[in-house]
Amino acid sequence: MGVEINDFCSLMELEAHGPDVYVGISPEYPWGRVYGGQVVAQALRAAATTVEENRLVHSLHAYFIRGGTSDEPIRYEVDRLRNGRSFSTRRVVARQSDGAILNLSCSFQIDEEQVNIQESSLPGDAGDPDDYESENWAPLLERRPTSLSSSGRAATWLKVHGPIPDDPILQACALAFASDDVPTEAVSTSHPKMAEIRDGWSGYAETFIGASLDHAIWFHRNARADDWQFHDFRSHGLNGGRGLSTGEIFTSDGLHVATVAQEALLRERTR
């Protein structure tokens, strides 16, 4: 049984178990496995613990190896690959008793005074979070799908339940936590059988076997993930039971915070 966790900061409180090894716990999720965004966020938190405070994460790349269980803690083993003058690189392997469940690489950079140009824009028809109804699957994440979602696209307002301290690493972990929600949904909208599903999550689970396969985030600018952020993802189609989606994350006032890419597994159930 998973433990009851109702605030994000408690989820990020990892316990040190020797040099560069940390252990985290999990709540239960409706689908039985540990939510992938949680494992990414905890792995990022473990990596950041080994990095100087003046270096902030700018990218991460993760492979989901197997589904984790909430019945036991997750062990995060950090490998300090390199400390350069401007960048620090880390690798994190998340393990449970059955073996590795996640392999993550991430890179941190000192804050440099360089040109800041934003080319992407918040869609003008994204609306306001208050325009939409909440559709939540866990107490830590508030989600409000928008009317922009359609075949090949999923667009949702998300925020992690706070308050979360004004700590760039914790806010980046919160964004990472939320970022695993919408990409798989975007991929599933490409499947023709989605139009036949009428009873939400239970109908989806009866029709498909789905999982995140790999996940990448590029962090462009600091922003609070315990405030509303707009996650706008588009599917690039399906092949061989796999689908790719890419998306952008904006604050409600239009700041482009991050870009995300994910490949997801989406198989039709045969029995």
Per the DSSP assignment, residues forming a β-bridge with 268 are 208
Instruction: Spot the catalytic one: 180, 181, 226, 232.
Output: 180
Tokens for 100? 């590795």
Is 212 one of the catalytic residues? Answer: yes
The answer to whether 112 and 64 have CB atoms below 8 angstroms apart is no
Helix pair angle (36-48, 168-178), 10° resolution: 160
Instruction: Spot the catalytic one: 188, 212, 235, 245.
Output: 212
| Residues with Cβ within 8 Å of residue 35, at least 6 apart in sequence | 29, 138, 177, 180
Instruction: Spot the catalytic one: 105, 188, 229, 262.
Output: 262
3-state helix, strand, coil in the chain (%, to 5): 20, 40, 40
Is 262 one of the catalytic residues? Answer: yes
Is 118 one of the catalytic residues? Answer: no
Three-state SS for 5?
A: coil
C-alpha 44/C-alpha 263 separation (Å) is 19
Per the DSSP assignment, residues forming a β-bridge with 83 are 88
129: exposed, middle or buried (C-beta count within 10 Å: 0-12, 13-18, 19+)?
A: buried
Buried b (16+ CB within 10 A) or exposed e, 145-182: bbeebeeebbbbbbbbbbebeeebbbbbbbbbbbbbbb
User: Which residues belong to the active site?
Assistant: 180, 212, 262
